[in-house]
A and B are shown apart, each in its own frame.
Chain A
Amino acid sequence: MTAVVQTAPLGRAPLDFKEGGFRRNLKRHSTPYLLGLVGMAWLLILFVIPLISGLAVSLMSGNPQDGYTFTWNWSVYSDIFVNSDVPYVTFLIRGLVYAASATIVTIIVGFPLAYFIAFRVSRRWKNALLLLVTLSFFVSFVIRTDMWAFVLSDQGPVLTVLRDLHLASKDFHILGTAGAVIGGLAYNDLAFMVLPIYVALERIDPRLIEASADLYGNKTNTFMRTILPLTRSGIFAGVLLVFIDCAGDPVNASLLGGTHTYVIGQAIQDAYLTNQQYNVAAALSTILMIVLGIILFAYARIVGTDNIEDLV
Chain B
Amino acid sequence: MTAVLETEPVTTAQPVGEPIGERRDRKRPLLPIIYWVVIGITLIPILVMIIYSFNNTPTNRITFQWHGFTFYWYANLTQVSGLGQSFLVSIEIAVLAAIISIAVGVPLAMALERHRFALRGPLSAVVFADIAAPSIVVGAASLSFFLSAGVPLGYLTILLVHVTFCIAYVVVVIRARLSGMGHVLEEAAGDLGANPLTAFSRVTLPLLLPGMLAGAALALAMSIDDYVITSFVAGPTVTFPLFVYGAAKVGLPPQVLCFGTIIFLVALLIALLNAVVTRRGRAAR
Contact yes or no, B137 A43, CB < 8 A: no
Contact yes or no, B117 A29, CB < 8 A: yes
Shortest beta-carbon distance, A206 to chain B, in Å? 6
Contact yes or no, B111 A54, CB < 8 A: no
The size class of the interface chain B forms with chain A is 35 or more
Contact yes or no, B257 A143, CB < 8 A: yes
Contact of B228 among A42, A119, A250 (CB under 8 A): A250
Contact yes or no, A11 B191, CB < 8 A: yes
With a cutoff of 8 Å between Cβ atoms, the chain B residues found around residue A298 in the complex are none
Contact yes or no, B17 A136, CB < 8 A: no
Q: Tell yes or no: B202 within 8 A of A by CB.
A: no
Q: Tell yes or no: B44 within 8 A of A by CB.
A: yes
Q: Tell yes or no: B284 within 8 A of A by CB.
A: no
Contact of B34 among A116, A240, A249, A309 (CB under 8 A): A116
Shortest beta-carbon distance, B245 to chain A, in Å? 5
Contact yes or no, B48 A150, CB < 8 A: yes
Question: Interface on B for A, CB 8 Å cutoff?
Answer: 4, 7-8, 11-12, 14, 16-17, 19-22, 25, 31-32, 34-35, 38-39, 41-46, 48-49, 52, 62, 64, 104-105, 107-108, 110-112, 114-117, 119-120, 123-124, 126-138, 140-145, 147-149, 160-161, 163-164, 167, 171-172, 187, 190-193, 221, 224-225, 227-228, 231-232, 240-241, 244-245, 248, 252, 256-257, 260, 263-264, 267-268, 271, 275
Q: A49-B145, A141-B227, A147-B44 are in contact. List 6 more A-B contacts (CB 8 A).
A: A33-B117, A38-B104, A39-B111, A129-B35, A141-B225, A250-B136
Question: Interface on A for B, CB 8 Å cutoff?
Answer: 4, 8, 11-13, 29, 31-33, 35-36, 38-40, 42-43, 46-51, 53-54, 56-57, 109, 112-113, 115-117, 119-122, 127-129, 131-133, 135-151, 153, 155-157, 187, 190, 206-207, 209-210, 213-214, 240-241, 244-245, 247-251, 255, 265, 268-269, 272-273, 278, 281-282, 284-286, 288-289, 292, 309, 312
